[in-house]
Chains A and B, each alone.
Chain A
Amino acid sequence: MRTLTFAQATCEAMAETMEKDPKIFVMGEDLARQGGIFGQFKGLPERFPGRIIDTPISETFIIGGGVGAALAGARPVVDMHFADFIGVPMDEIFNQMAKARYMFGGQARVPLVLRAPDGMTFQGAAQHSQCVEAWFCHIPGIQVVAPSNPYDAKMVLKAAIESDDPVLYFENKILYKEKGELPELGSEEPYQIGKAKLIRSGTDVTIVSYSIGMKNAVGAAAILEKDGIDAEVIDLISLSPWDKQAVLDSVKKTHRLCIVHEAVKQGGFGAEIAATVAEEAIEYLDAPILRYGAPFCPIPFAPTLEKKVRVYTEDLIRGIKSIF
């Protein structure tokens, strides 16, 4: 086993794929000269001169240019700086990137990865803190992933870069510095987009999450165990496509479901999970579905306020206990 941070693990994924395929290149703001504003591209510009490109602050070009490059036959990885800026090139994402293959009757391929650092950190306030992954799960033609740990970060990013379809890769800013264990090089398991991972097997309640929400999920399960509640924990990793079957199978076993994500609860991806379970397995449920996410409020600046909109492991523990 090796220990790497989430950021280092993404660098490994980039380096390994770029080494193999000269058609892969990277563009975004502050990448070549700084290695990314969170250090997530550190070392790559030196290793791959000319293939890590600093762009102007031109989000419609970064994404639209990435789509054009993909249509021309390259394999771009584009960086969004902060996931919050993704509204600027929205047309390039949902009308161009997502639809080119379909509307041109299969003539086009868009093997593009859009990396989007998200989540609350450093009191970034309303425009530098959001989790917007759910918006993109509503758009056919793109894939959405949000890994929660260094090993997955690497393998999911490799899978994203190797995919011939566009992938939005949401990477939580807090997680960049988190360390985790990875198997030795050569014994890693490739990741298949769309597959969830069973993190903890249990019989009493299913806790589903992804990205940083997994901290709450795993944390709650550990504490609940002491109180005699045996929680099963699923890391979705992919949100579009998502592993519906893994969740349904688990709920059919545990009869209780708790969903957690950092994103705003209303219209969040948890709503899709809850609705699917209600549609397809409601008769297996012994209790109402629990769903945790941020309140319907922009992310505030002041520490007292920002603290208030976070989801806490204690919230899950209290809620889960209340349904037994």
Chain B
Amino acid sequence: MNVWIAIGLTVAGCYLAKLLGLLVPAGVLERPLVQRMAALLPVALLAALTAQQTFGDGQQLVLDARAAGLGAAALALVLRAPFLVVVGAGVLVTAGVRALA
């Protein structure tokens, strides 16, 4: 049930955010500070999510195969690999390290 609550809230919230942009008159959200905050917020959230899902295990910090996988994904990004290759590299290396361990 909890999962459905979360899904319902996310569906509603994300849709309203999308709709808001199309409905409000231009100018309301055009203030420079608001714009900059909107650009920077995803940066902070994505960075935090990356760290949490790589080094977090419940409420514990761990260093496991995922760190190696993330390193591989980062390398793929540096080499300008396509999106799917980046994700694939992360998955494969994580599985490989686990299989060896």
Chain A bound to chain B? no
Interface residues of B, Cβ cutoff 8 Å to A: none
Interface residues of A, Cβ cutoff 8 Å to B: none
